[in-house]
Chains A and B, each alone.
Chain A
């Protein structure tokens, strides 16, 4: 064994929601294997990884057990020896490569810095080695990259830089903490492939942290499932996926969205929103500099029927959110029409728009930043109706009703947003949108920030609400699996254009464009779970 955790115990600071972040975790990582820890947020998977690195956040401390690395207990090593080991024997990559790279230091400097922290070699040699590493990671134009800054790179390039950095001293253990969660699905597939290839080539061990059983199926040799700081189940990947022993593991696997349950298209179509030839360009540059137009949405047409969910699927930069913002007139489209119940929203003046606004509502991606932290839930829910002149008492009564509808206790009205979990907040966000009795609901990545089991619940809720209120829903997502679950029809977007559209089942079963095929093939765990 390269790494053996024995009865590892990590304490949280006093006042946390539980005393131990990790309790009595035992886990082995053999040489030349990939071990996945799977769990939802708060499971202790990330804390376990950070404990191995000796990089626990302030106030979080190991209080028992041992972490044997090649026979040495890392918990007993002096800090200086541990520091020298970090980056040399054990390296780590993180979830969000944009945040994990220093924004004001050039890429070359960041990679060479790691090499020079452990080896006394001149900067020029370290830079040459950094360049070699970057090209091994499949990156082109290495000379330019070394001088570039993180914000000038794409998400996939940044994560490759992170991996190059981590591998610069040929560590024996690579810890990857959700390294693909922040990436687009096609990029995710490439990075997973890269990690697997490097692991096999260098015969190193990988500890891979993820919340996604699809990713597990793609990459793991062995799996450990964690919940509330404990390991519930562990074993070879085929065994855990094929015959999960613990009910929680079964629930997690069952919660992974699949395309099998795609909804059939509605039998009769009653168009409510009709978008034709919509374009939105963003202008870069100003008064004195050269202008360049970027077409975020390029001549898109769509029809949204009453009671129907239309999925808009695309990777980041595909224009799906811009499209939604134009439909709701948060942005003014440059061309095209948005006919809502016969009226063209795209050309309407503010005064005429106002009565229509309440009929189109939006649910946002981030349940943390989309609710005002300083106002009570009751105020947040009733603000909309009150702005349209509804009486306070009546509005509050309906707020209670809406909270019940989304599965929350009406007492929530007197509390603040921070007192709720992510899933609960997203329910509140939905209740807020429903308060104005809309005809159209625009859901912009409503479940992307949620754990997989919570995700399944919120998707069920959205579908239930859609059915009950006969809502037309524009559902924006980057996740093909999520789209498959709730959408009657889907529209695939890329670079601002519609690549393909049609009934969900047909698009999934027989995609007509190469891009859709690539998206489907990139789904982690495709066909294996």
Chain B
């Protein structure tokens, strides 16, 4: 089938999914007792019945739910995600401020995880059952099993507190006002700890997956054919074994990218990384429903797009897969 046609169809589906997400989360959020008006009234330090009521009227919370939903859907369709109660700012603006930080951290973690995992897995697969294989297996089990927030805290303790090599939190040194390359270096040094904490967990997965896939592919007939052709061993491993073994990794990478866009709430919070994860956490604690809904919508759209990219990448890597 025509690739453009396929992509257009998928975008239509993405829109449908987004609408479903909006409707579902709209009702889900309102299942919790109390509303933003009570929170705001509480924060203001003065709350009688009349004040809460006036707040509800101001934000349209006194209308019937279907009416609220309809108004909200109409606004979303025009790109207006509403106003954050807590920040008194357009939701979209708040999200767009934070989103690049999360994407930056995720991209770093993804690249480190894939490069490191594939390399380690390839190493382990070279001689299954050897000491090197056992070491990689144990190491990846460890990374897989250790809770991320704990690993993060230990990393802060070791590299930021004791060794003082890296900054413990934030995205840049506060008040330093670096520009140009100095700023890039500053952000990079802040990114290493949270990035590595995120990456190690996924790296373990890639290592396990690569190892298994490479061992399985190495036993297939076409690898024997490649050797029977008199090709050098390195080329047999790269062109024939690794190339086929990488196909299942695409699915895994797609899934990982999808989970990461929602922001890793734990890791971002441990390192006070100003991303979507911390934003979601703040929105929940402040009962900032418009912000929370906005985050849901933006991440739903991004996840759909990542899935689309995964499927296209899959069809490019494996000629047997057709987009349909």
Contact = CB atoms under 8 A, between A and B. Distances in A.
Interface of A: 53, 55, 83-88, 91-92, 94, 96, 99-106, 113-114, 117-118, 149, 151, 162, 165, 285-286, 288-290
Contacts of A149: 319-320
Given A96-B221, A113-B229, A113-B239, A103 B324 contact: no
Contacts of B239: 102, 105, 113
Nearest to A175: B228
A346 to B, nearest CB: 30
Interface stretch (B65-73, B165-173, B240-248): B240-248
Interface of B: 1, 5-6, 9, 220-222, 224-233, 235, 239-240, 243-244, 247, 317-320, 324
B221 A100 contact: yes
B229 A104 contact: no
Contact of A86 (B220, B230, B324): B230
A85 B231 CA distance: 10
B228 A55 contact: yes
B224 A94 contact: yes
B227 A104 contact: no
Contacts of A53: 228
A101 B319 CA distance: 13
Contacts of A94: 221, 224-225
A499 B186 CA distance: 78
Nearest to A98: B221
B101 to A, nearest CB: 37
A101 B231 contact: no
Contact residues of B: prevailing secondary structure: helix
B230 A84 contact: yes
Contacts of B226: 102
Contact of B230 (A117, A151, A285, A290): A117
A117 B222 contact: no
A285 B226 CA distance: 35
A340 B293 CA distance: 60
A55 to B, nearest CB: 6
A100 B9 CA distance: 37
Nearest to B230: A87
Candidate in B9, B229, B232 with the most chain A CB atoms within 10 angstroms: B229
Contacts of A162: 225
Given A102-B222, A103-B222, A104-B319, A91 B228 contact: yes
Nearest to B9: A288
Nearest to A87: B230
Given A91-B229, A99-B222, A117-B235, 18 more contacts: A55-B228, A83-B230, A84-B230, A85-B230, A87-B228, A88-B230, A96-B221, A101-B225, A103-B222, A104-B244, A105-B239, A106-B319, A113-B231, A114-B230, A118-B230, A151-B319, A288-B5, A288-B6
A114 B232 CA distance: 10
Contact of A92 (B228, B231, B244): B228
B247 A104 contact: yes
Contacts of A87: 228-231
A286 B240 contact: no
A104 B230 contact: no
